[in-house]
Structures are given as C-alpha cells and as structure tokens.
Amino acid sequence: MISSTLIALGTLAAYLIILLLTARLTGKEKSNEAFFRGNKKSRWYLVAFGMIGASVSGVSFISVPGYVGHTQMTYLQMCIGFFFGYLIVAYVLLPIYYKKNLTSIYSYLQDRFGSTSRKTGAIFFIISKISGAAIRFYLVCIVLQQFLFGQLGIPYPATVVIILSMVWLYTRKAGIRTLVYTDSLQTLCFICVIIAVLIIIGRQMYPSLTDMTEAIASSSFGRVFIWDNWNDKQYFWKQFLSGIFIVVVMTGLDQDMMQKNLTCPDLQKAQKDMCTYGFFFIPVNLLLLAIGALLYIYARQNSITIPESGDQLFPLLVQNGCFGPLVTVLFILGISAAAFSSIDSALTALTTTFCIDILNIDKETSETHAVKKRKLVHLCIVVFFIILTIMFKWIGNNSVIDVIYIMASYTYGPLLGLFSFGIFTRYQIQERYTPFIAIAAPLICYALSYLVPYYTHYQFGYELLMLNGALTFFMLYLSRRPASQT
C-alpha cells in the first residue's frame, strides 16, 4: 500500500510542478488587465479546449459514472440540450458582451437597469459559484484524503489547505492569462485519463470494444432516452430543455465560464471557441457514462455491494484494487486535473466579480493600489473556500452532481430572469424592488417543489430553473416603471 501511495504522491507532485512552471512562463505580467482579461490575446482553440476541463470538474469524473446507477445513461439527454444552449450563448449573449467590451458580464445589468441590479446579479453569482465550487472541491478532497493524504497521516483540513495553496500559487499573479494555458494542459490530461481508464476496465471485462459496447447497450444501465412518462424527472423533454437553460445560466450568465471567452481578440473567435467546446462536451460525457455502466456491471458480476451513494462506487472499486495499480494512479491524476481546472477558474472569476462589481476596482486611479487590493481579495476568497470545504465534510451529501444542478435551479434563476428581461424587453424597472424579487422567486419555487408533488403526481426536476427565471421575469414586469418615468 505504501508503494502505491508513494507512486500516487509522486504523480501528483510532478503534476503540480508542471502547473507551477506553466504559470511562471505565462504569468510574467502581473497587471489587473492580464488577470481579468488576459490582455484579450487568447487563442480561441486553447480557450475552447481548456473550458472542457473547467466545466466537467473532478465531480464529473466521480459523480457522472455514479449517476448511472439511479438514472442509467439518461444524463446524455441533458448533454444534448447543453449543445443547443452553447449555440444560444454564442449567438445571443456573446455579441452583447463583446459589443459593450465587458470585463464582468454583470456590468451589462448596470448599463441596462442600474447599479442595484448589477450588484444583485453579482451577489447571486458569488453565492452560486462559491457554494457550487466548494461542493465540487469537497468531493475531490475526500477522495484524495482517502487514497493519498490519509495514508500519509495528514488530516483532512490540512489536505484542503495544501491543495488550495497550490492553486493560489499558480493563479495569484496573472489569473485568467495563466488559466488559458493551465486549463488546456489539465483538459488534455483529463481526457487521456478517461480514455485510458475506459480501455483498461473494458479490456479486463470484455475481449473487444464491440463486445463492451453491446454489453453496455443491452444492460439495465444502457438506457439513454425516456419518452413515455412525463412525470418522470428523467423524461426527455424535461432533461433536454433543462440542459439548454442550465448552459445558458451556468455558462452564459456565469462570470467564471464567460471570462475565458472574453479574452479572445474578437467576437468571431469567441463564437468559434464556444461552438467547438459545446460539440465536444457530448462525447466526453458519453465516455464518463460508459465508465459508469462498466463499473455497475462489474460490481454485479462480482457480487460487490453497491454503495448507497453512487459517488462512492468508483473510488470503492479503485481502492479495493479491482482494476490494478495503474488505474489507481490514473484515477488520482484524473480527479486532480479536473479539480484544479475547475477550482482555479472559480477563484479567478470570483476575484474578478468581487473586485469589479462590488469594489469598483476598475475606477481606481492607482494601478499599484488596485493590484494590491485584487491580490488581497484573491487570498481572502481562497481562505473562505478552505473554510467552506472543511464545513461540507460535516454536512455530507448523496449525489454531488445532482446537488449542484438543484442548487443552480434556485440560485441562477434570478440571473436568468434579469438578463432575459433586459435582452428581450425595453422596459426599465423600479430597482429598489430587484433584490426582493431575486429572493422571492427561488423561495416560491422551493415551496412549489414540495406542494405540487403532494397534490399531484408531478415531480419537479431541473426545470425548476426555467420556472424560477419565469417568475423573476414576471415580477420584474410588474415592477416596471410607468411610461411617464421611462
């Protein structure tokens, strides 16, 4: 056990050294312009490739395969919807952001409505991103603690501090300029790992790729589409439409995901990168779902008790040495690559939003003072992440990816309503009501999610996001200014 632990530790250490060297080579410029906007010189294909790793995260490496046990491969229905969501982001939202030359996308709300709407949007993003990213990071830390740091006698809080300190080291200078390169490196590593893991596990179970594919398709885990029961949470049109809107809000209205796109030199290159990224997102998730189906088939064939939480199956089988030491090393490398890519983006985006939208750092007359303030904010967010990630260990969870999308349904709904009202109407609003509307809409949705199933057979899924956005839109319409005031 010690030898495999040392191999895993050496792999992780080598990986971190490569990230730090990449950051050193790309992060020579320490200005806020480089940190926030990458000097608008990013290559679109690097941005597109890097966004795959930033969006899938370490959670996807564990939770998407684990999701197969309860929902088969129906998650792919939502991934198909994702693609059409990326087209909306590319051809509806990106032209607006580029036309206004935005650094923070929430500046659009100030141009359209005023400072209260901008701060409301920024605060909802901060709450959404910091909680969602901390949940993703928590799951990865738990696995690394179980496989690596715990074997060395390092306590869980120290594991969290060590990993986040590494992320802080390579993002603190040049921010988004560095991330374009490190995320591309991490995505390459992640994709190579999932392909290698799928091949190794598949060959151990089946003599050929054709046999493996047929076994997955014919198993109880191979179902992709559900057309016949609209009350089912996994019903196709619920999943497909939810996928479209989830991408619109969690990518198009998310500073984290949009910040990289806004570093491209022009709109056309940003649209290229968004469409390319959206296309490749489907096969990446298909590979993860195939791994999940194989894991469940393997567990059944070998009479292995399947954990209640699907997130625990992949780590359990790897820890028991079911697939050999190479898969153990690849497993740790895969979740590390995805985790670092996700958390470094979140830290940079949160720093940008807080500095630009809350502190108005772009209005600072002294660049030196502005850079110092940005570095302090960046460090404070890292500390807050550490505290949250340690707290989540006490709370626990079942399926992390499910929790993330449920949270998004509540926290991103007001952003969907605000941006939709700004883009598709010409009304002005009475801004003093905006924060109350943004809070009321999720609360109403939460109440409906309990009351509707009690009186009917209908079960809400992620379509709560659409309802949340529609309620926000409707209440904004009611709060519009009278014609004499517009």
Q: Which domains does the chain have, with CATH numbers?
A: 2-417 (1.20.1730.10)
- Placement of tokens 């016949």 in the chain: 228
Q: Report helix angle 115-144 to 156-171, nearest 10.
A: 130
The C-alpha atoms of residue 45 and residue 274 are separated, in whole angstroms, by 9
pLDDT of the chain along its 486 residues, tens only? Answer: 445 667 777 777 887 888 778 777 776 666 667 677 766 778 888 888 877 766 766 567 777 888 888 888 888 998 899 999 999 999 999 999 999 888 889 999 999 999 999 999 999 888 888 877 887 788 778 878 877 788 788 898 898 898 888 888 877 765 677 777 877 887 888 888 888 989 988 888 888 888 998 999 888 888 888 888 777 778 888 889 888 988 888 888 888 888 888 888 889 998 998 988 888 888 888 998 999 899 999 888 888 888 877 777 888 888 777 888 788 788 887 777 767 777 877 888 888 888 888 888 877 777 788 888 888 988 999 898 888 888 877 765 545 556 666 777 788 889 999 999 999 999 999 999 999 999 999 999 989 888 888 788 777 777 788 889 999 999 999 998 865 454
CB environment 104-139: b (16+ within 10 A), e (fewer): bbbbbbbebbeebbbbbbbbbbbebbbbbbbbbbbb
Which DSSP symbol is given to 172? T
**Number of other residues whose CB lies within 10 A of the CB of residue 372:** 12
Pick from 356, 430, 346: which is nearest to 119 by CA?
356
Contact 282, 122 (CB under 8 A): no
Type of residue found at 438: A
Contact 344, 182 (CB under 8 A): yes
Q: How is residue 277 written in tokens?
A: 């990224």
What is the 3 state secondary structure string of 2-34? HHHHHHHHHHHHHHHHHHHHHHHHHCCCCCHHH
